Structure 1
Amino acid sequence: MGMTISALAKAGGVGVETVRYYQRRGLIGTPDRGAGIRRYDAGDVRRLAFIRSAQGAGFTLDQIGELLQLDAGQDRARARALAAERIAALDGKIAELQAARSALERLARQCHASQEGPCPIISAFDRDGVTMVSGSG
C-alpha cells in the first residue's frame, strides 16, 4: 500500500502544497485515486529527492524538468550542457558576492578609520539624501 501525499511530502522534507505545485509543473505524477485517495510509492519519493537535490545545486524547475526527461544513458551531452550553464551562473553569482564583500570591507575600514563626518557604511545606502536606515518604526 502506498503513502498519502502528506507522507510523501514529509519524506521529501517539503509541504503538501509544494508536492502539488511540482505536480502542476509536471515534475511529479499525480496517481489515480484508488478507494478515494491518491497513493504514492518509492519512485515518487526518489523523484522528489531528485528535485530537491537539483534545487540545492541551483537548477531552476524548468531545468530540473528537462533533466528528468533526459535518458540517463543517452543524453549525457545535454546533462553536461545544463551543468555547464549552472556552473557559469554560479561563477557569476560568486563574482557578484565577492565584489559586494570587498565593497563592504572597504566601507568598514573607512568607518573604523575616522570618527569625523557621517558613517561611510550608512552613507553608502543613503539615496537622495534620505537614509535607508531609520531609528524609528
Structure 2
Amino acid sequence: MLSANTSHSRNINNNPDDPDDPDPDDPDDPDPDDPDDPDDPDDPDDPDDPNDPNDPDPDDPDDPDPDDPDDPDDPVPDDPDPDDPDDPKDPDPTFPDPTDPTDPTDPTDPTDPIDPTDPRDRIPVNTCTN
C-alpha cells in the first residue's frame, strides 16, 4: 500500500535523496540538477541566468554583443579599423606590406608610386589578340 509522504516538500533543493544537494534541508542552496533553480549561479542550461558569464543571451545588456562595434562589454571590437595599426580585427594592419610580394601597392596613397621593377606594382597586360 502506498502512502503519501507530506513530511517534506517536493522542492528538489531539499531532496534528502539527492547526492548532489550539499544541504538537503536548505531550500535556498544551489542544486546543480535543477535547471530552474534560481539559487544556482553557474547553471549552464539556464539561458536567462544573469550570473552566467558565458550567457549568449542578446537581451542581456551585460553580455558582449558580437554585432555591435560600439559595445563597451565586448573585449575586442568587431569592426576592423583601417586607421588603427593596433586593431586586432584589422586583417591587414600594414597596407602595403613591403615584405609581402602578394600585397599590392596602395593605389590611394600618392606617396607610394608605381615601380615597374617591383613585382607588386606590375599590372598584367592583356596579350590576347582577336
Give the TM-score of the pair, scaled to structure 2: 0.25
| Larger CA Rg, structure 1 vs 2 | 2
| Bigger helix share | 1
Give the TM-score of the pair, scaled to structure 1: 0.24
